[in-house]
Chain A
Amino acid sequence: MTTIGATAPSPTPVAARTRTGPLGLLRDVGIVLTRELRPLRHDPFSVVFGMVQPLVFLGLFGPLLVGSLGGQAGTAFGAGGVWQWFVPAILVMTALFGTSATGANLLFEFQTGAHERMLVTPLSRPSLLVGRALKEMVPLAGQAVIIVLVMIPFGFRLYPVGALLGLALLAVFGVGLGALSYSLAIAVRKQDWMFWVVQQTLIFPLMLLSGMLLPLETGPGWMRVASQVNPLAYLVDAERALFAGEIGSMTVLWGWVAALVTAAVGLTVGVRAMARSAD
């Protein structure tokens, strides 16, 4: 029989090795991030689950777009045609559906007790949120690469530098939206059914008012006004520009502003919520 006590490190040296301060925070973020990525590594196909809706839109809505306004959207973005216009939007949609749902994982860990387990350890509270939010980049990048690769045979033209920058932009936005999703989960942890109600209520207006599915130019004026305060609209425009190989335009710059603001707001709100999540 193994004797646990004999081989056990004594508690005092363990405590001494636990760092505090910025380095400690970095270490903690790393631990949380590694833990969050493990299920993904063991089960890489799980990234596909987050892609169901975007793929449905791509497969069923895309052809309709081609038929109804192929020429119009095509002229807006030059040679690429409808796919060049629609695929970047689908990538943003993937980010929207995937990362906005991720709070459900935390909600589940609230119910099982796994989150409480983390709270009782010396891990810093901010790291519990930041590590989780950063993890969102990985499935998102995976999903985006799959979508792009699938679409290349259909005539989607790839501009590598723009595409890479587009992925980076998407990742930053995903971190922010993921953090907001976790914040929502923490806020509604005692009435967990609220999570999906709020999430669904928010993402559809955000999606439609971003010009993701149909160009807003043909919509009424109030919609165009509403889209001007929708960070997603800037992101969609910037992704379209980047995936058309346009790297340094104002449109792209505004996309970065929208993504960075989303990330900053998300992380701030999330870290605050996390600090109070034990009650």
Chain B
Amino acid sequence: MIDARSLTRDFVVSRSQTVHAVRGISLRIEPGELVALLGPNGAGKTTTMRMLTTLIAPTSGTATVAGHDVVREPGKVRRHIGYVGQGNGAGHTQRARDELRTQGAIYGLDRRAARRRADDLLDGLDLADLADRKVSALSGGQRRRLDVAMGLVHAPSLLFLDEPSTGLDPQNRANLWEHILRMRAEAAMTVVLTTHYLDEADSMAERVVIVDHGEIIADDSAAALKAKLAGDRIVVTVAGDDARPLARLVDRLPGARDLVCAGSRVEAHVADGPAALPELLRAAIEADVRVGTAQAHQPTLDDVFLTLTGRSLREAEQETPTAQDSPQDSQTRKDVP
């Protein structure tokens, strides 16, 4: 469905400054996949998507989307893809129903078919009661559903969604996703979305492509990424203030690595967090080490991002100068004697 090879895109901001927004992205997506591009703001997700949807030309590289080259045959690509951009697709002075009919006409539906399609989509996305409202009078969540409806008018086999749920409250987000997933199932659509919400990529996408600084740094299912690149983690503290005896015990747990011992606290990756804790506690009792607290953490995609970049995705988001430092570095790293 998508075959992108070494796509790059530079933006010339001023004579002395060029932004390398995308620095060589190669990506194959098969029909029927649901893929999330995950990365912090400014990673190049939107720019990548705008190249794949023919909105901007790549600086170098090629891409075939829905069977056509994005540079040589942009018109054919446009006819086959649906796109929901980062902003709102509907004009603010227009009415919801009219915008859907206009889209229908654009994709070659006759008046009757366009009218019927608009009504179906309004029903399907819970917008029927708002059909005659001006877009400017819709709430953020309603507008976003209208955007999705507009992207679906011609029943595309490939749908691009750029930050579909940004700015929505959790309830609206869940609601929007319910609609997207249902339509995907009904129409056997390939879906490519971008997001900077970790949980969204984690729970919705079957495949997560992590993008940072204009490059793909990981590409797999969320589960595989977490298992491969992060793994379970345990955090334990001792009742006293010297954790080194406890650290020695932690180090013996199956799969223990990346152990950090700071003051009364020990942190390490282990093969199986929930199983490791009881074992550790038993060993601690035998060795007469008093444990204060014990926690097991299952990895999140944020842990994956941290492993890959040394930054947390949330910090990368804020673009603070210290965002380059990982939390571990601020602690003293002691080797277990």
Show the binding face of A for B, using Cβ within 8 Å.
Answer: 1-11, 14-20, 28, 31, 34-35, 38-39, 42, 105, 108-109, 111-114, 116-117, 119-123, 278-279
Contact = CB atoms under 8 A, between A and B. Distances in A.
Contact of A278 (B56, B121, B185): B56
A13 B193 CA distance: 26
B106 interface: yes
Listed residue (A19, A105, A120) with the most chain B CB atoms within 10 angstroms of its CB: A120
A121 B87 contact: no
Contacts of A114: 87-92
B71 interface: no
B90 A9 contact: no
B123 interface: yes
B54 interface: yes
A4 B152 contact: yes
18 contacts: A4-B121, A6-B186, A8-B187, A9-B155, A14-B109, A14-B154, A15-B76, A17-B108, A20-B75, A31-B105, A38-B94, A109-B91, A113-B86, A114-B89, A116-B85, A116-B87, A119-B55, A279-B56
B93 interface: yes
**Which 4 A-B pairs give the minimum distances between C-beta atoms?**
A113-B87, A5-B186, A117-B89, A17-B108
Contacts of A3: 124, 186
B98 interface: yes
Interface string B115-137: 01100110110000000001000
B150 A117 contact: yes
B326 to A, nearest CB: 36
A81 B56 CA distance: 57
Contacts of A7: 116-117, 120
B102 interface: yes
A35 B124 CA distance: 23
Given A4-B124, A7-B117, A278-B56, 18 more contacts: A1-B124, A2-B123, A2-B124, A6-B186, A8-B120, A14-B107, A14-B155, A15-B76, A18-B79, A35-B98, A38-B94, A42-B95, A42-B134, A112-B88, A112-B91, A114-B90, A120-B55, A120-B85
A125 B75 CA distance: 11
Contact of A5 (B92, B93, B187): B187
A9 B76 CA distance: 17
Contacts of A28: 106
B299 to A, nearest CB: 35
Main secondary structure, interface of A, reads: helix
A113 B183 contact: no
Contacts of B78: 120-122
B305 interface: no
A19 B117 CA distance: 20
A39 B108 contact: no
Given A5-B187, A121-B103, A278 B89 contact: no
Interface string B289-324: 000000000000000000000000000000000000
Contacts of A111: 87
A9 B157 CA distance: 11
A1 B108 CA distance: 26
Nearest to B158: A11
A63 B117 CA distance: 56
A189 to B, nearest CB: 13
Listed residue (A1, A15, A278) with the most chain B CB atoms within 10 angstroms of its CB: A15
A109 B85 CA distance: 13
Given A15-B108, A31-B102, A113 B83 contact: no
Contacts of A14: 79, 107-109, 154-155
Contact of B120 (A4, A105, A119, A120): A4
Contacts of B106: 28, 31, 121-123
Nearest to A119: B55
Nearest to B83: A120
A262 B154 CA distance: 38
Listed residue (A16, A20, A123) with the most chain B CB atoms within 10 angstroms of its CB: A123
Contacts of B89: 113-114, 116-117
Nearest to A8: B155
B55 A11 contact: no
Nearest to A109: B91
B80 interface: yes
Nearest to A28: B106
B64 interface: no
Contacts of B94: 35, 38-39
A105 B92 CA distance: 10
Contact of B80 (A15, A34, A38, A123): A15
A113 B106 CA distance: 17
Contacts of B147: 117
Contacts of A19: 108
Contacts of B150: 117
A35 to B, nearest CB: 5
